[in-house]
Amino acid sequence: MNPLLTILIMAWAWLDQSWARFRLWRLGIPAMAGGAKESGIGMTAAIDDGSGASQVITDDITNLTISIPRASYDVTGLGKSGIERLLGLADLSLGLNGVFNDAANLSHAVFKTVPSQGAAQLRAISIAISAQTLTAETMPDDYALTRAADGAFTWTVNLLNADGLIPVWS
């Protein structure tokens, strides 16, 4: 590519960005570097123990996965050349991973009844980050403990939507 053309394209891009910033400034909107992006630092998590008392186990959780998928189903007729789908039910799946802690009201105390509970035991969970909170009634289906070769003793818990309501962030 012609070096002069490259310089002109770069100058045009810079002018376009500068003009956009100027327009925001004239409207009284501050230009933020990167927008409102945030890290997960400061996240908190509380979950009911076996007796239904909410326990904050934030410092025992090392990482988590939140998934709020929607089912979809195929309704394609024979005369179509592309797939038609309809949305089905919403779900929630939480994967929590953490470090074993058997102190009172912490992770092991919260999850130790999962393998022995006779019937489905609902657990309210609340996850908060920044000004956003996800609350849901969940059912744990596993409490797996792992002792690694390096000596680390960790756990994994899977929590599934259990009350038939669509989980939402508020």
Residue 138 belongs to a domain: yes
Structure tokens at 17: 């960005």
Task: Please give the tally of structural domains in the chain.
Answer: 2
SS3 51: coil
Q: What is the pLDDT of residue 113?
A: 87
Nearest-CA neighbor of 111 among 47, 170, 165, 66?
A: 47
Q: What is the pLDDT of residue 20?
A: 61
DSSP lists the bridge partners of residue 147 as: 153
Residue 168 belongs to a domain: no
- Domain containing residue 27: 1-37
Torsion of CA 135, 136, 139, 145, to 10 degrees: -20
113 and 57 inside one domain? yes
- The dihedrals phi and psi of 116, each to the nearest 5 degrees, come to -105, -5
Q: What is the mean pLDDT of each run of 10 residues along the chain (170 residues)?
A: 60 59 63 69 91 93 95 94 94 96 94 77 91 93 95 96 90
Residue 166 belongs to a domain: no
pTM of the model: 0.72
Q: What is the CATH number of the domain that holds 129?
A: 2.40.30
